[in-house]
Amino acid sequence: MNFLDKMVIPQSLENLILLKYILTLALIIFLPFVGILLISSFVSVFFNLAGRKYLKEHYIRFSKEIIDIVAASKSILLVLGVIPAISLILAYSQLLHASKIYIEGSLMLALLLLIVAVFLIINYKYTFNLDQILKYSRGEKVEVSGPPVNTEVEEKVIRFSEENLKRNKKSGVWGVILLFVSTYIFLSSIQMSYDPSKWSEKVSIFTIIFSLKGIIKYLYFLLASLALGSGATLFYYFRFRGKDPSDSTYFEFVKQICVWTGIISVAALPLFVLINLLMTPQSAISISLFTLTAVVLIMLFAAIHLYYIIVKKWSNSYSAYLFYILILFFAISVIIDQTSFSYSTKKQEMVLAANYDLIVAEAKEKAGKGPAISGKDIFDGRCSACHRFDIKLVGPAYKDVLPKYEGHMDQLIAFISNPVKKNPAFPPMPNQGLKPKEVQAIADYIMKTYKQK
């Protein structure tokens, strides 16, 4: 389980701070993307099922277009979803190493579920497209060729398309369920990292999953994703793709869905922003936290106004502003959380940095490059209270006693390491408690220097 520990490399303080920035960046990419993926998959599956049940063409069309945009290519899912998830797990395993909390386990589980969910969603999109192709080919056969020769093939096609549709529903529903579970575990695990006072060995995956704060954080995430998803869809349909006048009923349908889900989620978000502030541990309260929270509230206020303008009188350019504001809102929300993470884990950071310094010092000593020991420093600090080179103080002048050690360095070293009574005219010299390397250095220094004085 702790195999990630083996990948932990001791980090200096500077590296740890850099890692925190990398973590924030990974979260700014990962959370909005996975939020949009979750919401659009959910919306798509919902309208797909409802559209087939109540035979609404608009529903099915919207459902298909939505999933085609968000799951446009596998590489996007990989670059914006899976890779940031892996990097944030690695960053956490470095930053929270040797602490009492182990969230990497639940994060790994969430990643695994996410990967399976992504595959199911890709399969969902694929079977959706296949369904349309099959429908199209069937329609053609019925009209163009009547002869009974084709009925066998036709039956096969019908059976295949029924099977395909079943798969489509299954992979869609399971993909969405797994997306919900995996994003929930991600969010509640990350929430756990914010409050070091709650860290203890007793925290297991269950504690992480069944925590009230985790649930609140997740609702915050869902609402923010809903708002961003609706903003992105508005932007895509009316700005990016351009409004097609021949399709106005369909576009009106899309607009209504987006505007109302957007308004409801943006109106509910300030409450969660405030609860989030209240949930911040004492150790993480800072001026920047309050400032950023105020900024985020102002952005939500602006977003509501933009929705109002869009409802009242249609204008293409506003959907773009709305989208930018919602993206920024999401990013700043992540930064708020990471600021409090950064504050509240200062102690953890110091512990890791101190560990690092220790390891470096040990490594240097092993390599024989310990902190350079200077004989002069030792003389100034330890010997000069009782010794001078040319005059006697408490102890004899070095120029009087050192000549007898010429060529007998070992004896001098032995004396300094463990002074024995020498001259009855002096009191005994107290042991200076030096390390062997220090004795070597001071002996070298005084032997070299006494001749020059």
Task: Please enumerate in sequence order all residues whose Cβ is within 8 A of that of 112, keeping only pairs 6 or more positions apart, or say none.
Answer: 182
Question: According to CB under 6 A, which one of 186, 310, 442, 450 is a site residue for ligand HEC?
Answer: 442
Q: How far is CA 77 from the centre of its chain?
A: 17
Per CB under 6 A, contacts with ligand HEC among 349-388 are: 378, 382-383, 385-387
Task: Name the token pair of 331.
Answer: 């990013």
Does residue 429 belong to the site contacting ligand HEC (CB under 6 A)? yes
How wide is the angle at C-alpha 437 spanned by C-alphas 381 and 405, nearest 5°? 80
Contact flag: residue 401 with ligand HEC (CB under 6 A): yes
Q: CB within 8 A of 202, min separation 6: which ones?
A: none
Q: Nearest 5 degrees, angle CA 238-CA 334-CA 231? A: 10
Q: Which of 314, 428, 437, 451 binds ligand HEC (CB under 6 A)?
A: 428
CA-CA distance, 70 to 33, in Å (whole number)? 9
Given the complex with ligand HEC, which of 370 and 381 has the nearer CB atom?
Answer: 381
Residue 60 makes contact with ligand HEC by CB under 6 A: no
Cβ–Cβ < 8 Å for 321, 23: no
Give, in order, the Cα–Cα distances in Å from 10 to each of 16, 182, 241, 294, 371. Answer: 9, 30, 50, 37, 20
119 binds ligand HEC (CB under 6 A): no
Considering the complex, state which of residue 78 and residue 385 has its C-beta at the smaller distance from ligand HEC. 385
Selected range binding ligand HEC among 58-66, 200-208, 325-333, 429-437, rule: CB under 6 A: 429-437
Quick one: which segment of 3-11, 284-292, 356-364, 393-401 binds ligand HEC (CB under 6 A)? 393-401
d(CA 33, CA 172) in angstroms, rounded, equals: 18
Q: Does 172 bind ligand HEC (CB under 6 A)?
A: no
Distance CA 105, CA 5 (A): 11
Intra-chain end-to-end CA distance of the chain, in Å: 66
Tell me: does residue 451 bind ligand HEC (CB under 6 A).
no
- Our CB check for ligand HEC shows the closer of 251 and 415 to be 415
Q: Closest approach of Cβ 361 to ligand HEC, in Å? A: 23
Rounded to the nearest whole angstrom, what is the least distance from the CB of residue 414 to ligand HEC in the complex? Answer: 10
What is the nearest approach in angstroms of ligand HEC to the Cβ of residue 395? 3
CB atoms within 10 A of CB 362: 11
- In the complex with ligand HEC, which residue's Cβ is closer, 361 or 394? 394
Residue carrying the six token digits 């950071």: 349
Residues contacting ligand HEC: total by CB under 6 A: 23
Q: Which residues contact ligand HEC by CB under 6 A?
A: 378, 382-383, 385-387, 394-396, 401, 415-416, 421-423, 426-430, 432, 442, 446
